[in-house]
Amino acid sequence: MRIVHSDVKPTNILIADSGHLLISDFDRSYDKTRATGPPKKTDFTGAPFSMAPEVSHEVKIAIKADVWSLGFLLATIIVSTPLRQLFKACLTSDYKRHLDIKRVKYLDFCKDVNWEEVVARRMEPAYHPSEFKISTAVEDFNLNPHDPLLLTAAYNTHMPLTDKGPGDIRDKNGVRQLVEV
């Protein structure tokens, strides 16, 4: 297909039940296979904020312009005001201004979440971790929860002092145990 959508923006992206993204609203699209001459002024249309520079300056209509608009769309999602507000609120360096979870729930990014449904585990998550392949390194991460060196490292404010470096061995059952080597 040689169709330039010319209006790739958040309101023209739909999510199918399968999770696939669908582009909608082709009323401003430009079909390069049917073009009988150079583009007319009316062909250079779309939302100015998401238009590729060459389209907004009426220089050229190319399929690559939609890729530029896709990049703009992704940047919009990543740096959206609600998401930026969440990051700024959670990652402030002044510990006196750190939010508690109650205040985080009222940020724009989280305000539409039904927290009672989340707590009751009735809200369907956006994805299930089981859908993702877990690294074998994570699957093999099996430590003895009673290992004294591990417990010392976990519950003290400082790492245990040793004159040797940390390492690990596996016991006869394949459980990892921290050792000094």
SS3 content of the chain, % helix, strand, coil (to 5): 35, 10, 50
Lowest mean pLDDT among 42-46, 163-167, 170-174: 163-167
Helix boundaries (H) for the chain = 53-56, 64-78, 81-90, 101-104, 115-119, 136-139, 148-155
Give percent above pLDDT 70 in the chain.
66
CA 11, CA 3: separation in Å to the nearest integer?
19
pLDDT level of residue 7 (50, 70, 90 thresholds): confident
pTM score, two decimals?
0.41
User: What pLDDT score does 25 carry?
Assistant: 81
CA 123, CA 139: separation in Å to the nearest integer?
27
Compute the Cα dihedral for 106, 109, 113, 115 and give only its sign: negative
Q: Which fold has domain 3-78?
A: Transferase(Phosphotransferase); domain 1 (1.10.510)
Over 80: is that where the pLDDT of 2 sits? no
CA 110, CA 107: separation in Å to the nearest integer?
5
- Cβ atoms < 10 Å from Cβ of 35: 13
- Highest average pLDDT, of 30-34, 48-52, 64-68, 160-164, comes from 64-68
User: What pLDDT score does 54 carry?
Assistant: 77
SS (H, E, C) 29-82: CEECCCCCCCCCHHHCCCCHHHCCHHHHCCCCCCCHHHHHHHHHHHHHHHCCHH
Helix, strand counts (H, E) of the chain: 7, 6
What residues form DSSP beta bridges with 170? Answer: 176
Q: Taking all residues of the chain, what is their mean pLDDT, rounded to a whole number?
A: 73
CATH 1.10.510.10 domain span(s) along the chain: 3-78
- What is the C-alpha end-to-end distance of the chain, expressed in Å? 62
